[in-house]
């Protein structure tokens, strides 16, 4: 049975999403913990700022699906020490068609906060590599991931779903760009990961010139400093800039907040004008509970309105992409169904080969015999596929398997 649980930005606020963010070093642990509750054939985990999703395949049949979902949800809740009831924040899906359609939509940018954003593709690839390395993937899940990447590439090439598209970081930069005299603003970027790189690239394209960067490891910023002429600030000293800097953009993978109320205790007295704090991180880099007159906080949830502006511009492209996704879902379902026929097909070809190329027939013209074998076996296999509806007709499949695979 294939199942999916999703905690995403559509149904779960940021404080829940960050709580259930799964770090790469937790993937294998979760796999083993779920396996203690129910036998897993495979598990694929993807966890980003906007979603945490677990795609799983169990040994159990559809009638045990409730047990499977319960086991996955309980394991996740226990691992993250969440006892308040997780189900309101979870979307469940089951069955190959529904789950593959969701993953194909995800990889094609249709489930992104900003429609058409393809940053998710790299995130899927990264998650796939981790799960593959830890031997977590079943053949059905692995095939689905490969198919989703294939669909994503085709849709990106054959539609304009990503044309004029912006990432979440772009939405934040657009908001900054609307400020009067924005080209004269001083900006500090905290972090040197993928999101930070995107932010800096977009700042540079909008001709922001006074950009600083800080990171725990200076060497990770070298290429950015050289390419965009940035100024480096020691990580131990960046908080001193809070009194004078105009904007700070946070995008690190820190497990603990980098900025709290303690750091802003006297910010209103020390600043002459407002400071904008942009938090693009999950878990959040900024956790403040007080209100400040001269502090404006922009986080992922506040960017939703900006993000949704793109939707209406892309309706026609969304419809094109959705039609293309149907094709890939159908191909994946056909592949799954055909797996049920493989034992029979292998057995048929083997029996025919043994019969036609027996010692008694070796004296015949082997070239002619091989041609007859190829034509006959191909025709027989096609008939079996047709009669069994490519493995969907379970009664026909039982009869075929009994004829050709029983001793």
Q: Which domains does the chain have, with CATH numbers?
A: 2-164 (3.30.460.30), 168-309 (3.40.50.720), 334-405 (no CATH)
- ∠ Cα 272 275 277 (to 5°): 165
Instruction: Say how many C-beta atoms besides its own lie within 10 A of residue 316's C-beta.
Output: 11
Q: Are 87 and 73 in contact (CB under 8 A)?
A: yes
pLDDT greater at residue 348 or residue 124: 124
pTM: 0.64
Question: Which positions ≥6 away from 314 have C-beta within 8 Å?
Answer: 115, 116, 160, 161
**What does the pLDDT average to over 117-137?**
94
How far apart, in Å, are the Cα atoms of 67 and each of 1, 2, 46?
11, 13, 22
Dihedral over alpha carbons 103, 104, 105, 106 (to 10 degrees) = 50
Q: Are 44 and 54 in contact (CB under 8 A)?
A: yes
**Which three-class secondary structure state does DSSP give residue 279?**
strand
Residue 87: pLDDT above 80? yes
Q: Are 246 and 189 in contact (CB under 8 A)?
A: no
**Biggest alpha carbon–alpha carbon distance for the chain:** 101
Q: Percent of the chain scored above 90 by pLDDT?
A: 58
Task: Note the pLDDT tens digit of each residue in 270-319.
Answer: 999 999 999 999 899 999 999 999 999 999 888 877 766 666 667 778 88
Task: Note the pLDDT tens digit of each residue in 31-68.
Answer: 999 999 999 999 999 999 899 999 999 986 656 788 88
Enumerate the β-bridge partners of residue 58. Answer: 40
Whether the CA torsion 325, 328, 333, 336 is positive or negative: it is negative
């Amino acid at each position: 049975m294939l199942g999916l649980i999703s905690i995403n930005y559509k149904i779960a606020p940021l404080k829940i999403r960050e709580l259930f963010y799964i770090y790469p070093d937790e993937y294998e642990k979760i796999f083993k913990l779920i396996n203690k509750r129910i036998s897993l054939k495979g598990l694929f985990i993807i966890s980003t700022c906007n979603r945490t999703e677990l795609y799983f395949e169990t040994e159990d049949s559809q009638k045990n699906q409730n047990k499977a979902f319960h086991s996955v949800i309980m394991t996740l809740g226990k691992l993250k020490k969440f006892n308040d009831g997780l189900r309101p924040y979870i979307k469940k899906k089951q069955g190959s068609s529904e789950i593959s359609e969701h993953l194909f939509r995800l990889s094609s940018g249709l489930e992104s906060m900003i429609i058409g954003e393809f940053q998710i593709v790299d995130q899927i690839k990264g998650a796939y590599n981790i799960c593959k390395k830890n031997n977590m993937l079943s053949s059905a899940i692995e095939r689905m991931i490969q198919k989703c990447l294939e669909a994503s590439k085709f849709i990106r090439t054959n539609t304009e779903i990503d044309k004029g598209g912006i990432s979440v970081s772009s939405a934040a930069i657009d908001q900054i760009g609307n400020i009067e005299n924005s080209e004269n603003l001083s900006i500090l970027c905290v972090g040197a990961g993928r999101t930070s790189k995107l932010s800096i690239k977009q700042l540079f394209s909008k001709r922001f010139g006074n950009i600083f960067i800080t990171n725990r490891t200076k060497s990770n910023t070298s290429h950015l400093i050289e390419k965009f002429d940035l100024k480096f600030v020691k990580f131990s000293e960046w908080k001193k800039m809070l009194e004078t800097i105009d904007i700070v953009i946070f995008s690190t993978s820190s497990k603990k907040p980098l900025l709290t109320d303690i750091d802003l205790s006297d910010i209103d007295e020390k600043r002459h004008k407002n400071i904008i704090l942009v938090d693009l991180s999950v878990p959040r880099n900024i956790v403040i509970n007080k209100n400040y007159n001269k502090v404006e906080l922009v986080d992922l949830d506040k960017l939703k309105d900006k993000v949704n502006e793109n939707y209406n511009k892309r309706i026609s492209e969304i419809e094109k992409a959705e039609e293309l996704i149907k094709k890939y879902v159908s191909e994946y379902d056909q592949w799954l169904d055909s797996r049920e026929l493989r034992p029979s097909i292998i057995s048929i070809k083997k029996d025919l080969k043994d019969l036609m190329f027996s010692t008694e027939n070796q004296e015949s013209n082997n070239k002619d015999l091989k041609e007859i074998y190829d034509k006959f076996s191909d025709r027989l296999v096609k008939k079996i596929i047709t009669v069994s509806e490519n493995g969907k007709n379970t009664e026909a499949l039982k009869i075929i398997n009994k004829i050709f695979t029983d001793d």
